[in-house]
């Protein structure tokens, strides 16, 4: 792929990323509404994955395609699903006390953490420029959480735990992508949490208090599952580098939703910290793009690795 081709981003791919951000915003908005209504985060997360599992079975027409049930390492599939479930539970728990834009800002620190972890865990060591971007991103997290200035709370602990759990999920995805088929990675990431957490459901379950809460609870799997599916379609049409800036627009949708539904607007510190994290993340994307252009012999592999960092 030439550099000019890489810049020619199809409008349809951009719109798919926009739609993905709106769906993920719906997921977090619904989860925040439900935890504020008194429902437990683990139960909400379990329903999200159970309904996601049903959606995957229908979308992939599992009765005709059995490849999604095949695996090379079931323990790794299960562990990867546990990391994804942990990320979801911690994120939902953080939403009880933090604003939507605040949790999203911290979550956008994930590409920098993945860059740092890829060295010791995957043997993919970052250069000094990307390490500087990681440190700058961490400064952005400190600006948002402000430990020692009475701003740091249990919600920030949950948000950081969600980010770290998600990073291990991505690292495992990258490690397993060479040996496991993509449909199985999607299927078992929903199946593992739904099965493993099923015994805890009787102890954490509670009925939604209103009809709106029922609707939101049952729609979480659609928001999450369909959002991931749209993102896959977007990366089939354009390179990860070309689409890299657009996921950050989810911050805008989160702020709009937070204001319309909960009457919340992020403070200046959150906006400054989010801007630092976004700039740092975009620099890492830019650096990856330069390295990919330097090695034209394996562009698709570089695109694939970059897509998994976003």
- Each residue's pLDDT tens digit, 258-281: 999 999 888 888 889 888 888 887
Q: Is residue 265, in this structure, part of any structural domain at all?
A: yes
* pTM exceeds 0.85: no
When mean pLDDT is compared across 229-243, 268-282, 283-297, the lowest value belongs to 283-297
pLDDT over 50 at 74, yes or no: yes
Q: Is residue 2, in this structure, part of any structural domain at all?
A: no
> pLDDT value at position 158?
95
CA atoms within 13 Å, Cβ hemisphere of 70: 7
Average pLDDT over residues 97-108: 89
Torsion from C-alpha of 96, 189, 240, 251, nearest 10 degrees: -10
Structurally, how many domains does the chain consist of?
Answer: 1
> pLDDT value at position 205?
92
297 compared with 156, residue with greater pLDDT? 156
Q: Is residue 120, in this structure, part of any structural domain at all?
A: yes
Q: Which own/partner pairs from 56-61 qualify as long-range (CB within 8 Å, at least 24 positions apart)?
A: 56/186, 56/187, 56/190, 56/225, 57/187, 59/225, 59/229, 60/183, 60/186, 60/187
Q: Is residue 43, in this structure, part of any structural domain at all?
A: yes
Q: Is residue 3, in this structure, part of any structural domain at all?
A: no
CA distance 242 to 40: 39
**What range does the domain containing 76 cover?**
8-309
- Name the token pair of 266: 């992020």
- Each residue's pLDDT tens digit, 177-190: 778 887 888 889 89
pLDDT over 60 at 306, yes or no: no
């Amino acid at each position: 792929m030439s550099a000019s081709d890489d810049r020619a981003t199809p409008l349809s791919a951009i719109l798919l990323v926009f739609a993905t951000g709106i769906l993920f915003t719906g997921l977090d908005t619904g989860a925040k509404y439900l935890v504020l209504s008194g429902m437990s985060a683990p139960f909400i997360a379990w329903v999200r994955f159970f309904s996601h599992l049903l959606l995957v079975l229908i979308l992939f027409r599992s009765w005709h395609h059995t490849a999604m049930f095949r695996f090379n390492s079931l323990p790794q599939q299960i562990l990867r699903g546990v990391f994804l479930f942990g990320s979801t539970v911690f994120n939902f728990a953080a939403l009880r006390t933090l604003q939507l834009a605040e949790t999203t800002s911290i979550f956008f620190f994930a590409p920098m953490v993945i860059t740092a972890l890829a060295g010791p865990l995957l043997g993919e060591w970052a250069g000094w420029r990307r390490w500087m971007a990681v440190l700058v991103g961490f400064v952005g997290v400190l600006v948002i959480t402000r430990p020692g200035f009475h701003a740091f709370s249990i919600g920030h602990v949950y948000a950081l735990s969600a980010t770290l759990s998600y990073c291990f999920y991505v690292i495992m995805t990258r490690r397993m992508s060479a040996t496991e088929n993509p449909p199985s990675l999607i299927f078992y990431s929903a199946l593992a949490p739904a099965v493993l957490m099923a015994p805890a459901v009787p102890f954490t379950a509670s009925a939604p208090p209103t009809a709106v809460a029922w609707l939101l609870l049952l729609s979480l799997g659609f928001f999450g599952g369909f959002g991931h599916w749209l993102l896959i379609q977007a990366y089939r049409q354009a390179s990860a580098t070309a689409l890299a800036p657009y996921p950050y627009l989810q911050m805008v949708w989160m702020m709009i939703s937070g204001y319309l539904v909960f009457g919340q607007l992020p403070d200046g510190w959150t906006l400054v910290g989010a801007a630092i994290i976004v700039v740092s993340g975009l620099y890492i994307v830019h650096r990856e793009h330069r390295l990919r252009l330097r090695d034209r012999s394996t562009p698709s592999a570089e695109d694939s690795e970059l897509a998994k960092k976003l």
